[in-house]
Chains A and B, each alone.
Chain A
Amino acid sequence: MNMFLHELKAYRKSTIVWTLSLVALVILFLSMFPSFSKDAEEFKKLLEGFPVEVRKAIGLSIDSIATLLGFYSYAFLYLKLAGAIQAMNLGTSILSKESREKTADFLLTKPVTRKQVVTAKVMAALVSLILTNIVFIMLSFVMASIVAGDEFSKKVFFLLSITLFFIQLMFLALGIIISVIFPKIKSVISVSLGTVFGFFMLGMISSTTDDKALRYLTPFYYFDSAYIVKNTGYENSFLVTGIILIIAAVAASYYLYAKKDVHSV
């Protein structure tokens, strides 16, 4: 418990900053909606001028863009991007931090098992993300209620919003396994930004082709907003794959971290 609280405290500042940024971003996007929906026809005409591939790549769907959920789905692409960076940062730093700051010697000579160390750190990261999402979703709801002219499906809105958390979990797990395999990461931000943007670009490419297989490669497109809006649910195959990937990455991290040599730097 002491390790968990210590870690949680260590992430306090970054969690607050990221939460505020995400909230600011969603407020900014949603506050544009009223003026956008007023001139929706104009916009649609303008957007039709864009090549189909470009529209697909940036996640624009002309049919639904004028509705709140459609507009939110579009904006959500960028929220996902920001959220992914937060989670990836957390994941990459939690275990590599120890070797970078040479505190591994401190922690691992205490009467704890390495499993306990990983658990405390993963739980702290998880709680940070959960707190971020609670605040984010609540304020998104408030903002959506304010700007929505008509009724909108609260359930779909929630299903869309919570995908942020699922995507963050995937990037968290990815970050953790990277930090176990490459413990000497000098700069967390460059690794996490590189990985996240890499997947983001891959996602853009995959959405221009209709190749479903390619979608499995990028966490950003595991949750297709058009599908969620239409079916009020997720695609099971992607949901299951996502869960399996997260469990596999975390399990592998536990195993590798327990076995590895901790060198003095």
Chain B
Amino acid sequence: MNVIEIKNLTKMYGKARGIENVSFNVEEGEIFGFIGPNGAGKSTTIRTLLSLIYPTSGSAAIFGKDIITAAPEIKKDIGYLPSEVFYYDNMKVIDLLKYSASFYKKDCTKRIRELAEIMELDLTKKIDDLSLGNKKKVGIVQGLLHEPKLIILDEPTSGLDPLMQQKFFDLLEKENKKGATILFSSHILSEVQRLCDRVAIIKDGRIVTVEKISTLKENTYKKFKVETKSEIGMEHFNVEGVNQLEKDGSTISFLFRGNINSIMKKIAEIEIANIWVEEPDLEEIFMHYYERED
């Protein structure tokens, strides 16, 4: 079953592009990543799903219901964490969370305590006095306190230290195991890779691809940089799967895609001084997808 179904969703800001013909589905129970650089249209898509903004054309459904006409009903089961959180400054954390809970017809007191404990959030403080990271925690607790069936996160990790990020991811995984579907937007590939089953890649307002993380990994390049003891010709590496072969003195760099063993054998044939193997960053993955598109 699809929890989110997006069909040809387009949003224009006057003549400026927001998103164009975005279509993808998120299945029940999966953690779905939504990645792209800043300004690609991630937030626009998410805000449209939450009917904070209205689409120019196209449609989308959550839990099988239209996002506009059934908005209030859908939102009973959605937890949302915006990328920037600024909650009613002159309130205490607990008062804000209680206010948030008052919108859902269930008792969330116990859950608030639980979440606050996991995230190490002081409930008695004023929101005014909190650091950015702690405000983010308020946002996380606020988004999860009613045990939503769908959790939508818009760049949730900014401002959280690595330790908290880990706790937060554990929390999300736990919610996911309990049955929650998660839509997770980010511009950091590694966090998406770690958590998500599938991803949609968006660039310039269009979906470039929707793939399983495992497929994406198989298909992506690895960056190799080899420093040789003696200068050798770069033809040595001119084999299948190698791209963008470059030589700078005794350093040879290239991108490789394919069976990793074959390239390792090639490297073993020569004397090397040093080697770097890197995962491509997001930009490079995009480039990869653009090359394929053209």
Q: B85-125, CB under 8 A of A: which get 1 and which 0?
A: 11111000000000110111000000000000000000000
Interface 9-mer from B67-75, B164-172, B185-193, B248-256: B67-75
On whether the beta carbons of A103 and B72 are closer than 8 Å, the reply is: no
On whether the beta carbons of B87 and A106 are closer than 8 Å, the reply is: yes
On whether the beta carbons of B43 and A264 are closer than 8 Å, the reply is: yes
Q: B214-246, CB under 8 A of A: which get 1 and which 0?
A: 000000000000000000000000000000000
A228 to chain B, nearest CB (A): 41
Q: Which residues of B contact A (CB under 8 A)?
A: 43, 47, 50-54, 71-76, 78, 80, 82-89, 99-100, 102-104, 142
Answer whether A109 and B78 are a contact pair too, CB < 8 Å, given A6-B99, A104-B52. Answer: yes
Residues in A1-59 with C-beta less than 8 Å from chain B: 2, 6
Please list 13 pairs of residues, one from A and one from B, whose beta carbons are closer than 8 Å in the complex, sorted by A's number.
A2-B103, A102-B84, A106-B142, A109-B52, A109-B78, A109-B80, A111-B76, A111-B103, A113-B71, A116-B72, A261-B53, A261-B54, A264-B43
Please name all residues of chain B whose beta carbon is closer than 8 Å to the beta carbon of A261 when the two chains form the complex: 52-54
Answer whether A113 and B88 are a contact pair too, CB < 8 Å, given A104-B52, A105-B52. Answer: no
Cα distance, A127 to B189, chains bound together (Å): 51
A136 to chain B, nearest CB (A): 26
On whether the beta carbons of B83 and A264 are closer than 8 Å, the reply is: yes
B206 to chain A, nearest CB (A): 20
On whether the beta carbons of A262 and B75 are closer than 8 Å, the reply is: no
Cα distance, A97 to B50, chains bound together (Å): 20
Q: A242-265, CB under 8 A of B: which get 1 and which 0?
A: 000000000000000001011111
Please name all residues of chain A whose beta carbon is closer than 8 Å to the beta carbon of B73 when the two chains form the complex: 111
Answer whether A110 and B52 are a contact pair too, CB < 8 Å, given A102-B86, A103-B86, A264-B83. Answer: no
Cα distance, A104 to B87, chains bound together (Å): 9
Cα distance, A6 to B249, chains bound together (Å): 68
Please name all residues of chain B whose beta carbon is closer than 8 Å to the beta carbon of A112 when the two chains form the complex: 72, 75, 103
- Interface-centre pick from A110, A113, A262 (highest chain B CB count, 10 A): A110
B145 to chain A, nearest CB (A): 12
Q: Which residues of A contact B (CB under 8 A)?
A: 2, 6, 101-106, 108-113, 116, 259, 261-265
Cα distance, A106 to B72, chains bound together (Å): 13
Question: Closest 8 A-B residue pairs measured CB to CB?
Answer: A261-B53, A102-B86, A2-B102, A110-B103, A111-B75, A111-B76, A109-B80, A262-B52
Contact of B89 among A101, A259, A262 (CB under 8 A): A101
- Interface-centre pick from A102, A113, A259, A261 (highest chain B CB count, 10 A): A261
Please name all residues of chain A whose beta carbon is closer than 8 Å to the beta carbon of B100 when the two chains form the complex: 106, 110
Cα distance, A6 to B88, chains bound together (Å): 11
Answer whether A108 and B103 are a contact pair too, CB < 8 Å, given A102-B86, A264-B82. Answer: no
Cα distance, A116 to B71, chains bound together (Å): 13
A247 to chain B, nearest CB (A): 25
Contact of B86 among A6, A101, A262 (CB under 8 A): A101
Please name all residues of chain B whose beta carbon is closer than 8 Å to the beta carbon of A264 when the two chains form the complex: 43, 47, 82-84
**Additional 11 contacts, C-beta under 8 A, given A2-B103, A111-B75, A261-B52:** A102-B84, A102-B85, A104-B52, A106-B87, A108-B51, A108-B52, A109-B78, A110-B100, A111-B74, A111-B76, A112-B75
Please name all residues of chain A whose beta carbon is closer than 8 Å to the beta carbon of B82 when the two chains form the complex: 105, 264
The residue on B at minimum CB distance from A100 is: B86
B266 to chain A, nearest CB (A): 49
Cα distance, A101 to B99, chains bound together (Å): 16
Please name all residues of chain B whose beta carbon is closer than 8 Å to the beta carbon of A262 when the two chains form the complex: 47, 52-53
Cα distance, A157 to B99, chains bound together (Å): 43
Please name all residues of chain B whose beta carbon is closer than 8 Å to the beta carbon of A113 when the two chains form the complex: 71-72
On whether the beta carbons of A101 and B88 are closer than 8 Å, the reply is: yes
The residue on B at minimum CB distance from A104 is: B52
Cα distance, A259 to B88, chains bound together (Å): 24
The residue on B at minimum CB distance from A116 is: B72
On whether the beta carbons of A111 and B104 are closer than 8 Å, the reply is: yes
The residue on A at minimum CB distance from B105 is: A111
Answer whether A259 and B84 are a contact pair too, CB < 8 Å, given A2-B102, A110-B75, A113-B72. Answer: no
The residue on B at minimum CB distance from A13 is: B90
A101 to chain B, nearest CB (A): 6
Cα distance, A101 to B88, chains bound together (Å): 7
Answer whether A111 and B72 are a contact pair too, CB < 8 Å, given A2-B102, A101-B88, A259-B54. Answer: yes
Cα distance, A112 to B100, chains bound together (Å): 12
A88 to chain B, nearest CB (A): 22
Please name all residues of chain A whose beta carbon is closer than 8 Å to the beta carbon of B99 when the two chains form the complex: 2, 6
